């Protein structure tokens, strides 16, 4: 019975992403999923759930280190939460929350000792899986021969504190890199361990519920944590999502089996989070909407604000565009080829002989948004957006994908009478 309900829950989560369903249908299915999550189904029959305290989280980090993982997780640097090496819970942003809005971000004290009382910062895990600068080849001249320098083995990362939307982003990047046999991403990803953290307090720019990627994690993790903090209570519900996770969990002394009331409480926090998203966006038919609105005048209005700074693409956990740079030493003895993150907002990005294909700002913003929400579906059979909100927070002028899609929807060219011979609407996209 449990399995049937669990499958139904997952099916309803998938169905909420189906653009072929009407909004009422998707909302109803999402409600079924949230109800199944909420109703305290005895998970212990299938996957045991455990309770640990802060010492247990320290023991978890130590257990990962003992197994040879380099543990990376949230830390505070220069007023923001960024991912870096974590040696113990003391390195986490203890007792902090992030206050996020379009174009603004700040940290503030929560008044408690929460370990995960914030959401996502400007970085994502792609900086470890496909680093901003990576040597893909290096070599040196030795006599008449060119000798390749073997790149160093990447560390075995344990990603600690991964949010559900970020796991969705990793799965999206898997579809990009793994089928291509990418030698940078593949080894880093296959050797990694993922400790997920369910979200109980969404941020001001989060909209994962609209994208079907959160606030609870359903798969793609080795261990998941749900932090419960309240009147005299501070503990973590832990669930293993893989054999490797179960093995590590078994090594944590002090972990005890969760009681049904504790499971229900943790789940209710996650369910409640779904109703408190900072933002939402209607994704029904968004592919057709954007494909049909290449000439919508709203792109020009966005271009008046957009600085083409590339921030949105750098912070986005799914953006993967890169360029290649060749470097050589002045004496000509050593050379290397480096893969560097690039962005569709730069002029060079679409340069072909004679000039860039997308010379206007409006065409570059339209390309990015249309790829994320429309052509990504044709390319990879999923959305390219997971609703993390980073591009909204870190856009210096506060351009907001949820607001821009809403504007496009409200000015949908398909609902307008097109005057015969209207020059603006005959004009080809640039
Ligand atoms: S949308 Fe915002 S973050 Fe993106 S390039 Fe334009 S100004 Fe920069
Ligand atoms: S497009 Fe924006 S909200 Fe969507 S995944 Fe990228 S950064 Fe996050």
- Residue with the larger pLDDT of the pair 426 and 363: 363
Dihedral sign computed on CA atoms, order 74, 265, 239, 59: positive
pLDDT tens readout for residues 219-243 = 999 999 999 998 889 999 999 999 9
Q: Is the predicted pLDDT of residue 24 greater than 60, yes or no?
A: no
Question: Ligand 2 pocket, 315 CB below 6 A?
Answer: yes
Q: Is the predicted pLDDT of residue 22 greater than 70, yes or no?
A: no
| CB-based burial label for 82 (10 Å; 0-12, 13-18, 19+) | middle
Helix axes 260-274, 23-38, angle to 10 degrees: 160
pLDDT tens readout for residues 255-290 = 999 999 999 999 999 999 999 999 999 999 999 999
What is the distance in A from the centroid of ligand 1 to the CA of 314? 10
pLDDT at 14: 41
What is the distance in A from the centroid of ligand 1 to the CA of 385? 16
Q: What is the dihedral of CA 324, 325, 326, 331, to 10 degrees?
A: -170
Please, which pLDDT band fits residue 151 given cuts at 50, 70 and 90? confident
Q: Is the predicted pLDDT of residue 21 greater than 80, yes or no?
A: no
Please, which pLDDT band fits residue 153 given cuts at 50, 70 and 90? confident
Average pLDDT over every residue of 358-379 = 97
Q: Going by DSSP bridges, is the β-strand pair 322-328/104-109 parallel, antiparallel, or unpaired?
A: unpaired
Residue whose CA is at the smallest distance from ligand 2 atom 7: 316
Question: Ligand 2 pocket, 317 CB below 6 A?
Answer: yes
- Do residues 320 and 380 make contact, with C-beta atoms less than 8 angstroms apart? no
Share of the chain above pLDDT 70, in %: 86
Residue whose CA is at the smallest distance from ligand 2 atom 6: 316
pLDDT at 417: 67
For residue 215, whether the previous peptide bond is cis, meaning omega lies within 30 degrees of 0, is yes
Q: Is the predicted pLDDT of residue 13 greater than 60, yes or no?
A: no
| 309 CA closest ligand 1 atom index | 8
pLDDT at 423: 54
pLDDT at 125: 98
pLDDT at 45: 34
The number of the ligand nearest the C-alpha atom of 173 reads 2
Beta strands in 209-304 (DSSP E): 223-230, 233-240, 256-257
pLDDT tens readout for residues 308-355 = 999 999 999 999 999 999 999 999 999 999 999 999 999 999 988 889
Q: What is the mean pLDDT of the chain?
A: 89
pLDDT tens readout for residues 61-95 = 999 999 999 999 999 999 999 999 999 999 999 99
pLDDT tens readout for residues 176-214 = 999 999 999 999 999 999 999 999 999 999 999 999 999
The number of the ligand nearest the C-alpha atom of 349 reads 1
Q: Among the listed ranges 41-50, 260-269, 391-400, which one has the minimum average pLDDT value?
A: 41-50
Please, which pLDDT band fits residue 46 given cuts at 50, 70 and 90? very low
CA distance 216 to 214: 5
What is the distance in A from the centroid of ligand 2 to the CA of 319? 8
Here the tokens at position 200 are: 């109980």
The number of the ligand nearest the C-alpha atom of 404 reads 1
Classify 98 as helix, strand or coil: strand
CA distance 289 to 319: 22
Average pLDDT over every residue of 126-154 = 92
DSSP H helical ranges for 97-216 = 126-129, 164-177, 185-190, 208-211
Question: Ligand 1 pocket, 134 CB below 6 A?
Answer: no
- Do residues 103 and 307 make contact, with C-beta atoms less than 8 angstroms apart? no
Q: Among the listed ranges 8-22, 64-78, 372-386, 399-413, which one has the minimum average pLDDT value?
A: 8-22
| CB-based burial label for 141 (10 Å; 0-12, 13-18, 19+) | middle
């Amino acid at each position: 019975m449990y399995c049937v309900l669990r499958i139904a829950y997952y099916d309803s989560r998938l169905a909420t992403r189906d653009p072929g369903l009407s909004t009422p249908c998707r909302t109803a299915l999402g409600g079924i999923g949230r109800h199944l999550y909420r109703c305290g189904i005895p998970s212990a029959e299938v996957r045991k759930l455990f309770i640990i305290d802060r010492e247990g989280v320290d023991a978890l980090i130590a257990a990962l280190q003992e197994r040879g993982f380099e543990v990376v997780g949230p830390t505070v640097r220069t007023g923001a939460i960024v991912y870096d090496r974590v040696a113990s819970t003391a390195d986490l942003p203890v007792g902090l929350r992030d206050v996020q809005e379009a174009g603004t971000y700040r940290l503030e004290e929560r008044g408690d000792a929460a370990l995960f009382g914030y959401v996502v910062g400007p970085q994502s895990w792609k900086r470890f899986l496909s680093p901003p600068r990576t040597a893909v080849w290096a070599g040196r001249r030795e006599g008449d021969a060119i000798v390749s320098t073997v790149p160093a083995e990447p560390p075995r990362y344990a990603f600690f504190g991964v949010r559900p939307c970020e796991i969705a982003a990793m799965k999206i990047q898997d579809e990009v890199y793994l089928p291509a046999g990418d030698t940078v991403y593949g080894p880093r990803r296959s050797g990694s361990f993922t400790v997920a953290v369910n979200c109980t307090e969404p941020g001001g720019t989060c909209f994962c519920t609209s994208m079907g990627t959160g606030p609870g994690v359903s798969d793609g993790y080795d261990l998941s944590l749900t932090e419960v903090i309240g009147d005299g209570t501070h503990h973590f519900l832990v669930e293993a999502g893989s054999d490797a996770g179960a093995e590590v969990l078994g090594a944590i002394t002090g972990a005890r089996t969760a009681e049904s009331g504790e499971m229900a409480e943790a789940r209710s926090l996650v369910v409640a989070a779904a109703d408190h998203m900072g933002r939402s966006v209607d994704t029904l038919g968004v592919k057709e909407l954007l494909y049909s609105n290449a000439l919508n005048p709203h792109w020009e209005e966005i271009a008046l604000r957009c600085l083409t700074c590339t921030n949105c693409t750098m912070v986005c956990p799914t953006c993967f565009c890169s360029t290649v740079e060749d470097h050589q030493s002045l004496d000509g003895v050593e050379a290397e080829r480096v893969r560097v993150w690039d962005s569709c907002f730069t002029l060079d990005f679409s340069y072909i002989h004679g000039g860039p294909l997308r010379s206007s700002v409006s065409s570059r913003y339209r390309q990015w948004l249309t790829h994320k929400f429309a052509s990504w579906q044709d390319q990879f059979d999923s959305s390219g957006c997971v609703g993390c909100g980073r591009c909204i927070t870190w856009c210096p002028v506060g351009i907001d994908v949820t607001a821009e899609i809403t504007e496009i929807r409200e000015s949908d060219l398909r609902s307008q009478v097109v005057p015969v011979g209207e020059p603006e609407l005959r004009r080809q996209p640039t």
